[in-house]
Amino acid sequence: MARRTNEQAQQTRENILKGALDVFSDKGFSRSTLSDIAKRIGMTRGAVYWHFKDKRELLVELMENMHAWEAELLAEKVLSLDSLEDLQERFQVRAELLDTDMRFRKFVRFMSMQVEWATEKQIFNLLRDGHMRNAPFKDFDLVLHKERQRGRIRPDVDVDEVCDIMVGMFTGMVRLYLSGMANAPLKVSVRTGMQAIFDSIRA
């Protein structure tokens, strides 16, 4: 009986998280309330509060779950992350995921365009100081350092700077894509852009 109760509680939390993503992406984080989320999924506000003390806690768990889901999916499609080619493939698969998975696209749009980071300093600090900092691109800098040690990247290249450039280029392309301003398909732009970066740093 206890196991069933735990499974039901976990399912309820997952339903709340799904409802939260829908509400947050529709209204933005600052304008959403737990009451809005409860109404979206047909629960009482008290039931949502029983699982989450406030919407910031809910958002942090939503981010943790989505990043874990994304990492698992990417690991299935790109079996290793050890070379420049693996990095390029990881960016490419992530671009394709944005094209094909509505839930993932909704989450990325919300995180990049609908969270008011300037006013949500508590959440920003959690991201900056916690394990979710730069989560989608975790260990990319380690791969670049390894490739330089192997002699595949020129010794004068600042790999930390290159990592920032790669992430910045990708996130900028994603914002163009999500805002409907991109002239080319995302996966094409990502492939071309990353190839240009890697060609410029190779030994």
What is the pLDDT at residue 1? 47
Q: What is the pLDDT of residues 184-194, one digit of tens each?
A: 999 999 999 99
What is the pLDDT at residue 161? 93
What is the pLDDT at residue 122? 62
Alpha carbons 106 and 136: distance in angstroms, whole number: 16
Long-range Cβ pairs for the range 72-78 (8 Å, 24+): 73/97
Q: Which residues of the chain fall short of a pLDDT of 50?
A: 1, 131, 133
Domains of the chain and any CATH numbers: 1-53 (1.10.10.60), 66-201 (1.10.357.10)
What is the pLDDT at residue 59? 86
What is the model's pTM?
0.79
DSSP the chain: -HHHHHHHHHHHHHHHHHHHHHHHHHH-STT--HHHHHHHHT--HHHHHHH-SSHHHHHHHHHHHHHHHHHHHHHHHS----SHHHHHHHHHHHHHHHHH-HHHHHHHHHHHHTS-TTT-HHHHHHHHHSTTTTGGGTTHHHHHHHHHHTTSB-TT--HHHHHHHHHHHHHHHHHHHHTT--SS-HHHHHHHHHHHHHHHHB-
Q: What is the pLDDT of residues 115-124, one digit of tens each?
A: 665 556 666 5
What is the pLDDT at residue 126? 60
What is the pLDDT at residue 151? 95
What is the pLDDT at residue 173? 93
